[in-house]
Structure 1
Amino acid sequence: MPPFPSKLTYAAAIIVALASAMPASSESAQPNTVAVNKDSGADDAKSSERQIRVERRTPAYWRVTFDNPPFNIFGPETIPQLEAVITAIENDPLLKVVVFDSAVPDFFLTHYNFIPPLSDSTGLRAGPTGLHPLPDMLVRLSRSHVVSICLIRGRATGVGSELALASDMRFASREKAVLSQWEVGAALVPGGGPMARLPRLMGRGRALEILLGADGIDGELAERYGYVNRALPDDQLDSFVQALAMRITKFDGKAIAETKRLVDQASLPHDAEIAAGWDAFIASVQRPEAQSRIQQLMTLGLQTKDDVERRLNWYTETLRAP
């Protein structure tokens, strides 16, 4: 594993890596595909390293698949790829439903990548909402005319949980899904909006249990708490989500969009709430307590050892105070 850069603090890495995303190209994608990472400023080698695949199953129904083995970690190279996908979703008038899933066994989408150098992120610009790239993309996904569904098999940790919360619906494997906002365990404040979204889904007490307990929540408990719509037996999950997505695509697009818009008005947090959480995150990553804990986790094997990624919530309990 490349050592965590001694001259690049965790705070600086995250602040710059999540500084604003460059707008995606407006070029049309080829049939049955959606171009990602267009005009991202990455070199040719990095441009070929696709972490997100988009399949147009029908004009009205897309699958967006995270494919960054071994752990589906979200990093600065993922930001322009996801931004391009979100922009394509917003701009396609025929699209009605998008399903997010994973090609990596046991990992839906996990935390931010703490290793890349500063230069990988310095060219990114502000998103259309004025928020930093990650909350910007999540806010835009929530408010899109398109119905977004997360099919969660494996761990949805940090960014993965925040993407699920920003989506319209979440369906989880009863046996294999684990959702987690682990950040407090590393002396961080979550930055992708879970403080604004979780209480609206499950109430204040349960939201605080998840955020402050910073533990993994299995599919069955996630369903009981309202973290996900339903937890289904793993062998039924794919067929259920496929059937629901196809059913929705049969209905009138304008009726879908208008109904979703009115539900959004009644249920989504204001941008100011998301911005406040982001500001708290930025403040937290600069604290020595957070930097010390991340360094300890990297030494233990964060991003390199399967056991650490699978049991990240347990490993945070072993960390020493600085």
Structure 2
Amino acid sequence: MNRPERAFTTDEIRLDRLLPTYWRVTFDMPPVNIFGPRQLPLLNDVITAIETDPQVKVVVFDSAVEGFFITHYDFLAPLEDSLSIPPGPTGLQALPDMLVRLSRAPVVSIASIRGRATGVGSELVLASDMRFASREKAILSQWEVGAGLVPGGGPMARLPRLMGRDRALEVLLGADDIHGDLAERYGYVNRSMPDAELDGFVGALAMRIASFDKEAIAETKRLVDVASLPPDDEIKPEWDAFLAALGRPASQTRLKALMARGFHRAGDVENRLGFHVGQIGS
């Protein structure tokens, strides 16, 4: 493979064209890859490039931060920073808009999960077309209910379609960490594999897909989307519910308790968030 072309870059999100047909998007927001309103316009630029480029066929999402794919939304940023971002082309608010567009783009999206994909991270991988996880290092969760919140990026619409209603409720209401092998058994990810094999497997699959005809890829994906993707009117209420929950006393009390333990900082709370949300209500 030739040296990749740095097509789009910030300090936090990098888009590399490994080939004209095969791109990689890398999240690099140390120490724990928190995603918030500052990153939303950057992700929008990436999604727009994926939607509009005539050559790209496959995009792999990964992380440069050890232990974290994307962990959760930025709860220290002023709420107005999120509310002031206008709706996207779908009419949905910024984050759910981008995730819906990623799912519908005429390009295959693959999440390569090494570390915590929780909250927003889980929602991004659920919006991707395929998800592959490191057996030793991947952790997925929708932890928000444990903090008095409602997940906002579409998991209530997407998870039941992947794993059934009962397991989706276990993930959402249990609010606990799901490691790679269990995520595979539940249908949260396509496959869990030894960490040493993850990059090679994902790269080989991406290269294989990138060698195929773009029109055949896009049309096949479009027809699968008809049978499997949730409509926008199932997605929109989730973001509204997230914002409403964020202002309730119960969530504020629990978030403050998490902050006191070390939430939003490198350390045990971010490394074992499922455990800690189970402790703050005790």
Q: Shorter-chain-normalised TM-score: which range?
A: over 0.9
Match of 1:64?
Answer: 25
Distance in 1 of aligned mates of 2:257 and 2:213 = 52
Q: Specify every segment of 5 or more residues in structure 1 that has no aligned partner in the other structure, as ranges.
A: 1-30, 37-48
- Counterparts of 2:163 and 2:46, CA distance in 1: 29
Change (3 A) 1:205 1:118: closer
In structure 2, the residue matched to 1:243 is 204
Kept in 1, the 8 Å contact 2:71–2:117? The answer is yes
| C-alpha distance in structure 2 between counterparts of 1:32 and 1:120, whole Å | 32
Q: Secondary structure at the match of 2:6?
A: coil
Q: Distance in 2 between matches of 1:185 and 1:34?
A: 39
SS in 2 for 1:35: strand
Structure-2 separation of matches of 1:190 and 1:93: 34
Q: Helix, strand or coil for the counterpart of 1:73?
A: coil
**Equivalent-residue separation in structure 1 for 2:236 and 2:136 (angstroms):** 35
Choose the corresponding residue for 2:128, options 158, 167, 174: 167
Q: How does 1:205-224 map to 2 (within 5 A)?
A: 205-224=166-185
Q: 1:317 deviation in Å?
A: 1.7
- What's the TM-score, normalizing by structure 2? 0.95
Give runs of aligned pairs for residues 257-272 of structure 1, distance below 5 A. 257-272=218-233
User: 2:29 and 2:134 mapped to 1: Cα distance?
Assistant: 20
TM alignment of 1:146-185, pairs within 5 A: 146-185=107-146
Q: What is the distance in 1 between the residues matched to 2:79 and 2:126?
A: 29
Alpha-carbon RMSD across the aligned residues, in angstroms, is 1.5
Q: 1:133 aligns with which of 94, 103, 106?
A: 94
**Take 2:269 and 2:51, find their aligned partners in 1: how far apart are those partners?**
37
Shift of 1:122: 6.3
Structure 1 residue 269: Cα displacement: 0.1
Structure 1 residue ranges, 4+ long, deviating more than 2 angstroms after superposition: 33-36, 116-124
**Contact kept? 1:34, 1:85, Cα under 8 Å:** no
Measured after TM superposition, the shift of residue 123 of structure 1 is 5.0
Match of 1:19 in 2: none
User: Partners of 2:84 and 2:8 in 1: how far apart?
Assistant: 20
User: 1:35 aligns to what?
Assistant: 8
Summarize deviations over 1:208-266 as a string: whole Å, max 9, x none: 11001000000000001100000011000000000000000110000000000000000
Kindly tell me the number of residue pairs found equivalent between the two proteins.
Answer: 279
Q: Which runs of 5+ in 2 are unaligned?
A: none
- Indicate conservation of the 8 Å contact 2:90/2:97, yes or no: yes
Of 256, 269, 272, the residue aligned with 1:308 is 269
C-alpha distance in structure 2 between counterparts of 1:160 and 1:69, whole Å:
14
Aligned counterpart, 1:85: 46
Cα distance, 1:120 vs structure 2: 4.7
- Asked whether the 8 Å contact 2:8–2:16 carries over to 1, the reply is no
